[in-house]
Amino acid sequence: MTAETIIQSLASGLLMGLLYGLIAVGLALIFGLMDVVNFAHGEFLMIAMYATFFLFAFFAIDPLLAAPLVAAALFVFGALVYLCVVRFAVRAKANAGMVQIFSTFGLAIVMRGLAQFFFTPDYRSITHSWLGGKTFSIAGIYLPVPQLAGALVSIAAFTALYFFINRTDFGRALEATREDAGAVALVGIDKNRVFALGWGLGAALVGLAGAIMAMFFYVYPDVGASFALIAYVTVALGGFGSVFGAFAGGIVVGLVEAGTTLILPPSLKSVGIYAVYLLVVFIRPRGLFGSL
């Protein structure tokens, strides 16, 4: 193992990690807003990838251009999921936690079933996008261009989110609702509207991630499941309730995954991620940046 291979794999790990952060941030946002873990998050990613694929296959729209369209579509979808399903789950008088887990889990199964029904279980891929298959080399390190683009989009999205939350009225309403949903009602903010917009925003962010992922990853009905688990770990590692914890969590997860593949066979690469999660929460039971 030379220093070069280590730097090479850590660099790819960093890019992947930024993308993991982007996949996870929607989850973190929704959790931070209303303490709900969306167990259909992976399926949100899956439909975003399908949307990107079909925009490419039927209209020859490159994933890079499709990304904003997909994000907008996912925004609407996320808001609808809140209004049609989650709104009722949050109202449950008994077992609220389990009702949220299993209503979103049921939704995930339905979405997977619908994807199988309409799109068949076949693996699909976008064969020739603008960036697909290209690499960029700097100082002897090769970086795949789609992942590089993903990393840049991720940084841009987090920056935009930072300003959005801190500088806009809606962002402040979001923060206020997170702090005390009862009190915001008193000052005339419609809690349901804020939640619906929060779900829309969370879904739009995972839509962005899906559009990037579709450039270099196979699209199939179960694709979300493997990324969803990593997204949960990313959010928990960063700390529930902290949107920017997801950013840090994603980078840690990406680097650990790359580091693990240097030592263990590739089929065990996730073991490193899971082990680091356990290590972190055993030492710090609220994640890296979470609040109790």
Partner 1 sequence: MDTAFNQRRRRDLIVAACFAVIAALVPLFVKDVYVQNIMVLTLMYAALSQSWNILSGYCGQISLGHALYFGLGAYTTALLFTKFGVLPWFGMLGGGLISAVIAMVLGYPCFRLRGHYFVIATIVIAEIALLLFQNWDWAGAALGIDIPVRGDSWLKFQFTRSKLPYFYFALGLACVAWLVTWWLEDSKWGYWWRAVKDNPDAAESLGVVVFNSKMGAAAVSAFLTAVGGAFYAQFVSYIDPESVMGFQFSLLMALPAVLGGIGTLWGPVLGAVILIPLTELTRSFIGGSGRGVDLIVYGTLIVLISLARPEGLVGLFSPRRKEPAR
Residue 144 contacts residue 76 (beta carbons within 8 Å): no
Q: What is the Cβ-side half-sphere exposure of residue 46, based on CA atoms within 13 angstroms?
A: 26
Give the tokens for residue 164. Answer: 């959005």
CB 30 to partner 1: min, Å? 12
Whole-angstrom Cα distance, residue 89 to residue 99?
Answer: 6
CB 276 to partner 1: min, Å? 10
In the bound state with partner 1, the residue whose beta carbon lies nearer, of 104 and 129, is: 104
For helices 269-283 and 223-238, angle between their N-to-C axes, nearest 10 degrees: 30
CB 199 to partner 1: min, Å? 16
In the bound state with partner 1, the residue whose beta carbon lies nearer, of 84 and 156, is: 84
Whole-angstrom Cα distance, residue 261 to residue 259?
Answer: 5
In the bound state with partner 1, the residue whose beta carbon lies nearer, of 173 and 255, is: 255
- For 115-131, give the secondary structure using H, E and C: HHHHHCCCCECCCCCCC
In the bound state with partner 1, the residue whose beta carbon lies nearer, of 158 and 240, is: 240
In the bound state with partner 1, the residue whose beta carbon lies nearer, of 145 and 288, is: 288
In the bound state with partner 1, the residue whose beta carbon lies nearer, of 98 and 156, is: 98
CB 224 to partner 1: min, Å? 13
Q: What are φ and ψ of residue 16, in 5° steps?
A: -60, -40
Q: Which of 159, 140, 162 is nearest to 151 (CA)?
A: 159
CB 240 to partner 1: min, Å? 6
CB 287 to partner 1: min, Å? 7
Q: Which of 10, 82, 71, 21 is nearest to 231 (CA)?
A: 21
Q: How many CB atoms lie within 10 A of CB 207?
A: 31
Whole-angstrom Cα distance, residue 64 to residue 56?
Answer: 10
Q: Which residues bind partner 1 (CB under 8 A)?
A: 31, 37, 85, 88-89, 92-99, 101-103, 105-117, 120-121, 221, 225, 229, 232-233, 236, 240, 265, 267-268, 270-271, 274-275, 277-278, 281-282, 285-287
